[in-house]
Amino acid sequence: MPTESKPIQLATSCPDFELPGVDDKNHNLASYSEEVLVIGFTCNHCPYVQAYEDRMNQLVKIFESQSVKVICINSNDDQAYPEDSFEKMKERAKLKNFAFDYLRDSTQEVAKKFNAVCTPEFYVYDKNRSLAYHGRLDDNYQDANAVKHRYLKEVIEDLLASKEPRWKQTNAIGCSIKWKASA
């Protein structure tokens, strides 16, 4: 049974983080100066995430010449789910040619700061790093051709045009974040 995110407080500041990426570099909030910052909680094994990987790459490519950055963070317990290990993340990123930064949250502290509950779950921050949107990438994870609303794309377009985002919050649907037993 899928997990669904709950509404959260909008217009909050983006939590800081310091995480290793599959590019073998450390990334933190200050690393990103783009006008729009998209942070997604994803992983390797979730079928919902896998259904969106190509669409996430396409989204990055649509905005590659604009001031937009997409980051995905894997916070899953890699002891219980070895396919979500850092090494497997590197393999997946290479296999799928990820166009976004893919970071590892091994302590799960970053996911807790964001109040993330499922994969994929997205947060879009404006140039002031204020939360402008929380929820899903689009309205149909099963069939890219049947999508009617491309929430992330439309919110990014609105923010780049200095407009109020037409979407504020949608319920993300996916696999639950796999919390460590002590979490």
Domain limits at 45? Answer: 3-176
Residue 152 lies in a domain: yes
Output the pLDDT for position 95.
Answer: 97
Section 152-166 average pLDDT: 97
Output the pLDDT for position 183.
Answer: 46
% of the chain at pLDDT higher than 90: 97
Residue 8 lies in a domain: yes
Residue 181 lies in a domain: no
Q: Residue 66: which CATH number?
A: 3.40.30.10
Answer yes or no: are the C-beta atoms of 136 and 171 closer than 8 Å.
yes
Q: What is the DSSP letter of 35?
A: S
Check the CA dihedral 77-152-138-52 and report its sign. negative
| Amino acid (1-letter code) at residue 56 | M
Collapsed DSSP state (helix, strand, coil) of residue 69:
strand
Confidence tier at 154 by pLDDT (50, 70, 90): very high
Output the pLDDT for position 17.
Answer: 98
Cα–Cα distance measured from residue 55 to residue 116, given in angstroms and rounded to the nearest whole number: 21
The pLDDT tens digits of the residues spanning 71-129 come to 999 999 999 999 999 999 999 999 999 999 999 999 999 999 999 999 999 999 999 99
Confidence tier at 1 by pLDDT (50, 70, 90): confident
Residue 182 lies in a domain: no
If phi > 0 it is left, if psi is from -120 to 50 it is alpha, else beta; for residue 6 that is beta
Phi, psi of 61 (to 5 degrees): -65, -35
Q: Which residues pair with 21 in a beta bridge?
A: 103
The pLDDT tens digits of the residues spanning 49-71 come to 999 999 999 999 999 999 999 99
Q: How many domains does the chain have?
A: 1
Average pLDDT, the chain: 97
For residue 51, which of 133, 138, 155 has the smallest C-alpha distance?
Answer: 138
Tokens representing residue 68 in the block: 């937009």
Residue 83 lies in a domain: yes
pTM, full prediction: 0.97
Residue 183 lies in a domain: no
Residue 36 lies in a domain: yes
Residue 82 lies in a domain: yes
Answer yes or no: are the C-beta atoms of 83 and 116 closer than 8 Å.
no
Cα–Cα distance measured from residue 106 to residue 43, given in angstroms and rounded to the nearest whole number: 12
Phi, psi of 36 (to 5 degrees): -125, 130
Between the CA atoms of 119, 92, 99 and 136, what dihedral angle is there, to the nearest 10 degrees?
-10
